[in-house]
Amino acid sequence: MLQTIAAFLGMGHSLKRLAYAQTLEEQQAVWNANWFVRFCKQGNAWLVDVAVRILAVIFLNRFVLWSVPHLDPHSNRDEVMLCQ
């Protein structure tokens, strides 16, 4: 689900850089350089609240969550690769 949200927001490259960072400081630098994180930290509180609520409605609704193959209760969890 995180990969889908990151791809939708155009953050796929920074998510990969975050995953492959060698040190915690490098991870923090990548995380803090992300445009959405900066928006959430420095943006107008009302605007951030509206944006987060819209993203929650889009990505955290029942249809989307049950359609994600990694969350399928009938799938074999041992065969699912979390890092693709």
pLDDT in tens, 17-35: 888 889 999 999 988 888 8
pTM of the predicted protein model = 0.55
Confidence (pLDDT) at 55: 84
Please provide the average confidence, as pLDDT, over all residues in the chain.
78
- 45 — pLDDT class (breaks 50, 70, 90): very high
Positive or negative: CA dihedral 58, 39, 5, 62: negative
Which of 32, 34, 45, 47 has the alpha carbon at shortest distance from 5? 34
Please report which confidence band the pLDDT of residue 60 belongs to, taking 50, 70 and 90 as the band edges: confident
Task: Note the pLDDT of residue 70.
Answer: 57
Domain ranges in the chain are 2-71
Coil, helix or strand at residue 17: helix
